[in-house]
Amino acid sequence: MLGDCGMKEWERLALRKNSVTFLRDLVVDDLLIQCLQQDGILTENMAETIMAKPTSQGKSRQLLFLLPKRGPQAFSSFCAALTATEQQHLCRLLMDFTEKDKSFSEPSLPFPTQECVIPAKRARTHESMEMCLDADSPVTTAVLPCTPEFYQSHRSQAYPMRSCPRGLALVLSNVRFDSANADLDVRRGGEVDDETLRRLFMELDFTVSLHKDLTAEAMRRCLEQFAQRQEHAKYDCTVVCLLSHGVEGSVYGTDGQLLELDWVFEVFDNARCPLLQNKPKMFFIQACRGEEMDNGVDQLDGQERTQSPGCEQRDAGREGERDDKEREEKDRERLRVKLPQRSDMICGFATLKGTAAMRNTKKGSWFIQELNSAIRQKSNDTHLADILVQVKRFSPLSFLNAMIHCMAIYLNNVNMLAH
């Protein structure tokens, strides 16, 4: 049995010494759990226990608690699973630790090479994961953490980001549309986008809900239910991502009906969603806003843009005197501080008004690629509005609409509850 022969002592020590980094950076997703299950390291009950944890850190902590008890192959299988889920930096961390430490008398177990850690028979839980392993797919790096010094010097100017998790994130992704709507073709590469966003916000310690291929009415119900979730009261912010075909002011459901974006913002405003008052509400819209194409012009001193030929697509009251009591009530109402109907909102669009959004069928959309890269590299010390300005530089048609109320959004400020 596994319990009769556990990990080697040096393997336990390698995990223990690097536990802080793993709790911060490790992404425990379905693919990683499946890899460990197929190697017989985790049972079905163990997998369910891990994935039931509400936060990213909770999942990581439970997995690291179980691994040392799961037999002599657990360590090498864990390293293989890290490589299979594009977390090679964590695998290298364990390898570097064992290579530098000369105090162990036990012979080292051979570490798997990248060529042999993904057997051909191993199934994938998500089609998009296979695409993430393509040479032509987006490169994912770990989200950079913020320093305590930066947190202390900026927290008075920023929205609080101390809750654990930081907030709820909702991703609605329509890739395949009803066959009756001939004009709405399959959004090839769209599945890469939704997986990219799911992993990004999970690593930023959001609780992420991903829903795919919904009709316009189902999207409305999903958004209304999400906006009314009572957990918003405990958390510091929220994220909504809509990925579909679209026109100016609306996105398509799979049935070809339109969902108006103005209605979406209304669902989350201060009147209809009081639990999110004074909290940042972030929206990211990957959809066309028209049919106009902007192919750009050659920059005389610019570098050549790397292309993937054949992979680009468009996404397409009564008057009169009042008594003293009414006057007093009116005066109190005048003195009461009121919020605007809509505040604390920021929205990043994939494209400008009237133009088409571009999507690579292997890498995903231009906008989501750059958004993912910029947030991972800059969220530790850069205001989200400035991050979106950087995204606009590399995805020139993207557009920012901000109704930020007073303070800055630093997505990856230090979570003080974890220290």
Domain presence at residue 348: yes
What spatial distance separates the first Cα and last Cα of the chain, rounded to whole Å?
37
Answer yes or no: do 204 and 347 share one domain: yes
Domain presence at residue 130: no
334: CB partners within 8 A, 6+ apart: none
Domain presence at residue 399: yes
Amino acid letter, residue 285 = I
Amino acid letter, residue 219 = M
pLDDT < 50 regions, the chain: 1-4, 101-137, 294, 297-309, 317-322, 334-335, 405-406, 414-419
Domain presence at residue 414: yes
Q: Give the pLDDT of residue 377.
A: 86
370: CB partners within 8 A, 6+ apart: 391, 394, 395, 398
Answer yes or no: do 87 and 227 share one domain: no
Q: Give the pLDDT of residue 327.
A: 58
Answer yes or no: do 27 and 68 share one domain: yes
Torsional sign, CA 121, 142, 45, 195: negative
Answer yes or no: do 105 and 154 share one domain: no
Answer yes or no: do 12 and 64 share one domain: yes
Answer yes or no: do 227 and 374 share one domain: yes
Tell how many helices (H) and how many strands (E) occur in the chain: 15, 12
Spatial distance between the Cα atoms of 63 and 46, rounded to a whole number of angstroms = 9
Q: Give the pLDDT of residue 11.
A: 83
Which residues are designated catalytic?
245, 288
Please name the residue that has the structure tokens 């192959």: 73
Closest CA to 57 of 92, 83, 19: 19
Q: Give the pLDDT of residue 239.
A: 96
Q: Give the pLDDT of residue 257.
A: 94
Domain presence at residue 260: yes
Closest CA to 285 of 197, 373, 374: 197
Q: Give the pLDDT of residue 126.
A: 32
Spatial distance between the Cα atoms of 91 and 410, rounded to a whole number of angstroms = 29
Spatial distance between the Cα atoms of 167 and 35, rounded to a whole number of angstroms = 28
Spatial distance between the Cα atoms of 161 and 236, rounded to a whole number of angstroms = 6
pTM greater than 0.85 (yes/no)? no
Spatial distance between the Cα atoms of 37 and 26, rounded to a whole number of angstroms = 18
Q: Give the pLDDT of residue 105.
A: 37
Q: Give the pLDDT of residue 6.
A: 63
24 class by beta-carbon count within 10 Å (0-12 exposed, 13-18 middle, 19+ buried): middle
Contact of 353 with 290, CB cutoff 8 Å: yes
Domain presence at residue 324: no
Range of the domain at 70: 2-117
Count of domains forming the chain: 2
Q: Give the pLDDT of residue 353.
A: 84
Here the CATH number for the domain that contains residue 51 is: 1.10.533.10
- Of the three residues 68, 97, 117, the one that is the final residue of a domain is 117
Contact of 279 with 236, CB cutoff 8 Å: yes
Domain presence at residue 304: no
Domain presence at residue 66: yes
Cα–Cα distances (Å) from 54 to 49, 51, 231, 307, 368, in that order, read 11, 8, 12, 40, 25
13 class by beta-carbon count within 10 Å (0-12 exposed, 13-18 middle, 19+ buried): middle
Closest CA to 198 of 129, 268, 275: 129
